[in-house]
Amino acid sequence: MARGVAAKAKTRDSIGHRMTFGVIAPSTNTSVQPEFDHMRPHGVTNHHSRCIIPDTKVSDNKSFMVMLNNIRESVPAAIESVMTANVDHVVMGMSAETFWDGKEGQRKLQKKVDSIAGSRVIMGSDACQEALRAYGRGIKRLGVITPYMPVGDHQVRRFFTDCGYEVVNLLGLKCTSPVLIGHVSQQELRDAILKVNRGKVDAVVQVGTNLAMGEVAAMAEFWLDKPVLAINTATYWYALRYYGIKDQMQGWGRLMAEH
């Protein structure tokens, strides 16, 4: 898709004069937009485009795959839509698909979405790797939280295993619809962190972008004295850093404040 004449203009967006991000998320997702906007530095703007999907009932692996396939089919149109705003770069505010089929699946998806956007698209799976590296080489054993059914959990475990980590504990919350992922409370997320932190765990990682865990993760990281990584925080942090924006922010954990 051509960026057109506007891409060659010398002027910058008046509000997003440092960076304009096109953010892709399912239409059912209520967490990515507010969390990304809370983390937005001055001069950076987020422009959201929705992958239109129904709020289907999810009760097992089969219905989970129906939901995932709905998202897959709507991604190209969502990217093409936001590119009409001549945004600088695209960020995927969805995660299940980015972990699918391990590292090889990630590479294939990266190539596909990059070709649609015309530049590198920031994805949650890649962001998690970079965030864990930022915390240091001593992280090997993970506790992982997802909102998924077992078929999705398997793919997340496979991805992190491909990346050289050991998933010691994994808790899938088995949320029963895309919208209801965003209804998981802070108390439930706190309890999930405590469950996957059992044993010798070096870091806790949460995936599933409609789980609003950014603030909870930052609090848990302070009390547990170990990395607790929320995927929305990791993704937005990686998007900023990858494109040269180094602003450090408090309230979202060590990743945003120190790295």
Could you tell me which CATH number the domain at 16-126+234-258 has? 3.40.50.12500
Q: Is the pLDDT of residue 150 over 60?
A: yes
Rounded Cα distance, 50 and 93, in Å: 10
Average pLDDT over residues 146-152: 98
Same fold flag, 16-126+234-258 and 134-230: yes
Strands (E), the chain: 19-26, 44-51, 89-92, 121-122, 141-146, 166-172, 203-206, 228-230
Q: Is the pLDDT of residue 7 over 90?
A: no
pLDDT digits (tens, 9 = 90+) for 159-183: 999 999 999 999 999 999 999 999 9
Q: Is the pLDDT of residue 6 over 50?
A: no
What are 51's strand-pairing partners? 26
pLDDT of residue 204: 98
Non-local (6+) Cβ contacts of 199 within 8 A are: 141, 168, 169
Domain regions of the chain by residue span: 16-126+234-258, 134-230
pLDDT of residue 137: 82
Q: Is the pLDDT of residue 205 over 90?
A: yes
214-224 helix and 186-196 helix, angle to the nearest 10 degrees: 40
Rounded Cα distance, 175 and 99, in Å: 18
Rounded Cα distance, 142 and 170, in Å: 8
Q: Is the pLDDT of residue 134 over 80?
A: yes
Q: Is the pLDDT of residue 115 over 70?
A: yes
Average pLDDT over residues 191-211: 97
pLDDT of residue 136: 86
Average pLDDT over residues 108-130: 96
pLDDT digits (tens, 9 = 90+) for 47-77: 999 999 999 999 999 999 999 999 999 999 9
pTM, 2 dp: 0.94
Could you tell me which CATH number the domain at 134-230 has? 3.40.50.1860
pLDDT of residue 10: 64
**pLDDT range class, residue 2, cuts 50, 70, 90:** very low
